[in-house]
């Protein structure tokens, strides 16, 4: 029989239905000591857009020359948008022009958002949001010439959904075990011994690798609170009415006794983990139930409901004893191989409304300056359309929002929509990233309180790039 460690047993408790309530209990001790600055409160909120969001249909060229170039190379897609109609959101007259403070670096080129992103456009213009252009997984700076002569050192399995989602989150293909969100939080909880690591990494969606660290694991929440662990919610055992409270008390007593009395270390660990899951769930739900509801209104779609859960959790963060939190939100539907003109605008509406409502909620409780929201996605899309859709790309454009963001600026690069400018791959016009995911992450990590050594430990290829901080966060680089 293969040797099975206590760590593996605890890590596998997810099959019992209560791993998301365990938090850091699945780890048997902290590793190295770190020195992250954990003064005050800060939170990072990742919104992962699954499927691969089309950056060129999100941040559009607005100057006439560049707009015409995009229409020419994507004629079928623009026709699907019925762009010549006065009612089309892709008609140049209806686009929302952006007025970045750093417009001079683009030499007269202009950019715009479609009307579906009107709330995000307003946030950009007010300085609450920035755009980071052409971000993607890179091991080192990469050029078209290197690709053409096969000398480029590339991430594995480019253009594969599962592998590139994992690479964005962990810098490794599907099956990787540690994500940079979790590794950031490892440094925080090691630097702050009073930090409650159970509530430091919060997911509102799937159990992806982004929040997985050595010493932290995700805690799952929903807008209605935390689902009870299966061991705690088995109705046949706990009853169906007022007897529930007494049954729960008996269960807690039983688990505590099992932890103390068993001579088997595995049984002790499982009983302790089960008891802790119950305690964590009760602590969270009690704090949330006692909180005053927001006046900010969140729509009923999936991404807005997740962002509401994030906002509600931040609101009770003092009761959870955390100074830093990492959140993971995800929404699907961005794999727009077909009918993109119908599907992407609807997704844009939901995304913009969710972020805008979240901003309003954070302003309401005075935390907007302490939170950064950022998007991530499998990849961008091909510049060349396939009719009424687009195919898997590489680099893509992303947004960062928050009171601490150096907003109303465009960072990175948004290349002209010209296939022969050397900034796209030979095949299908995939953007070659000019900003790595690690640079994107490091800029936020520096604001979050991590020092250069801690960032380097969490972001393995960061040292391959000349600039570690892109400057879009207040108090970091320029």
- Sequential DSSP letters for 269-297: HHHHHHHHHHHHHHHHHHHHHTSPPPSSP
* Local confidence pLDDT in tens for the 478 residues of the chain: 445 555 554 544 443 334 455 554 444 344 445 567 778 999 999 999 999 999 999 999 999 999 999 999 999 999 999 999 999 999 999 999 999 999 999 999 999 999 999 999 999 999 999 999 999 999 999 999 999 999 999 999 999 999 999 999 999 999 999 999 999 999 999 887 667 889 999 999 989 999 999 999 899 998 766 665 555 554 444 454 545 566 566 556 655 555 556 566 555 555 555 556 677 888 888 888 888 999 999 999 999 999 999 999 999 999 999 999 999 999 999 999 999 999 999 999 999 999 999 999 999 999 999 999 999 999 999 999 999 999 999 999 999 999 999 999 999 999 999 999 999 999 899 999 999 999 999 999 999 999 999 999 999 999 999 999 999 999 775 4
Half-sphere exposure of 192 (CA within 13 A, CB side): 24
Note the pLDDT of residue 244.
Answer: 59
Q: State the DSSP string of 135-195.
A: EE--SS---HHHHHTT-----TTTT-HHHHHHHHHHSS-TT----HHHHHHHHHHHH-TT-
Write phi, then psi, for 156 (nearest 5 degrees).
Answer: -75, 145
Note the pLDDT of residue 197.
Answer: 87
Cα–Cα separations (whole angstroms), residue 3 to 8, 9, 351: 10, 11, 47
The whole-angstrom separation of Cα 55 and Cα 75 is 17
Cα–Cα separations (whole angstroms), residue 340 to 50, 126, 390: 15, 29, 8
Note the pLDDT of residue 24.
Answer: 44
Please name each of the domains of the chain with its CATH number.
31-223+298-464 (3.40.720)
By the 8 A CB rule, do 410 and 400 touch? Answer: no
Q: Say which residue the tokens 């739900």 belong to.
A: 285
Note the pLDDT of residue 478.
Answer: 47
Note the pLDDT of residue 29.
Answer: 40
Note the pLDDT of residue 254.
Answer: 57
């Amino acid at each position: 029989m293969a040797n099975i460690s206590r760590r593996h047993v605890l890590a596998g408790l997810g099959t019992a239905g209560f791993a998301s309530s365990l938090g850091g209990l699945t780890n048997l001790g902290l590793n190295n000591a770190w020195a992250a600055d954990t003064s005050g409160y800060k939170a990072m909120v990742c919104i992962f857009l699954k499927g691969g969001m089309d950056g060129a249909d999100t941040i559009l060229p607005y100057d006439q020359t560049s707009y015409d170039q995009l229409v020419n190379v994507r004629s079928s897609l623009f026709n699907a948008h019925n762009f010549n109609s006065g009612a089309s959101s892709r008609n140049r007259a209806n686009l929302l022009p952006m007025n970045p403070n750093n417009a001079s670096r683009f030499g007269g080129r202009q950019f715009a958002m479609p009307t579906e992103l009107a709330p995000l456009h307003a946030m950009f213009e007010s300085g609450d949001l920035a755009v980071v252009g052409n971000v993607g997984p890179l091991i080192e700076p990469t050029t078209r010439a290197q690709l053409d002569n096969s000398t480029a050192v590339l991430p594995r399995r480019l253009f594969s959904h599962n592998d590139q989602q994992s690479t964005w989150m962990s810098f490794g293909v599907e099956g990787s075990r540690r994500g940079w969100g979790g590794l950031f939080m490892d440094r925080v909880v090691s630097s702050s011994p009073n930090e409650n690591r159970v509530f430091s990494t919060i997911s509102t969606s799937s159990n992806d690798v982004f929040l997985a660290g050595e010493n932290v694991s995700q805690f799952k929440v929903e807008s209605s609170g935390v689902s009870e662990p299966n061991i705690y919610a088995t109705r046949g055992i706990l009853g169906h009415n007022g007897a529930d409270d007494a049954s729960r008390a008996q269960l807690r007593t039983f688990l505590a006794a099992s932890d103390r009395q068993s001579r088997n270390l595995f049984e002790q660990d499982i009983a302790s983990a089960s008891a802790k899951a119950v305690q964590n769930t009760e602590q969270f739900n009690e704090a949330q139930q006692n909180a005053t509801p927001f006046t900010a209104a969140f729509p009923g779609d999936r991404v807005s409901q997740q962002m509401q859960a994030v906002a509600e959790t931040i609101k009770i963060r003092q009761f959870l004893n955390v100074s830093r939190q990492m959140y993971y939100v995800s929404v699907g539907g961005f794999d727009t191989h077909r009918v993109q003109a119908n599907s992407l605008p609807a997704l844009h509406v939901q995304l913009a409304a969710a972020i805008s409502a979240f901003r309003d909620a954070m302003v309401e409780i005075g935390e907007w300056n302490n939170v950064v929201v950022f998007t991530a996605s499998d990849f961008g899309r091909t510049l060349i359309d396939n009719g009424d859709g687009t195919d898997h790309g590489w680099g893509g454009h992303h947004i960062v929002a928050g009171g601490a963001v150096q907003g109303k600026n465009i960072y990175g690069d948004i290349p002209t929509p010209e296939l022969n400018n050397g900034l796209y791959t030979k095949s299908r016009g995939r953007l070659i990233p000019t900003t790595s995911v690690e640079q994107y992450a490091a800029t936020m990590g520096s604001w979050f309180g991590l020092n250069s050594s801690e960032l380097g430990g969490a972001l393995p290829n960061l040292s391959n790039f000349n600039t570690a901080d892109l400057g879009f966060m207040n108090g970091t680089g320029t």
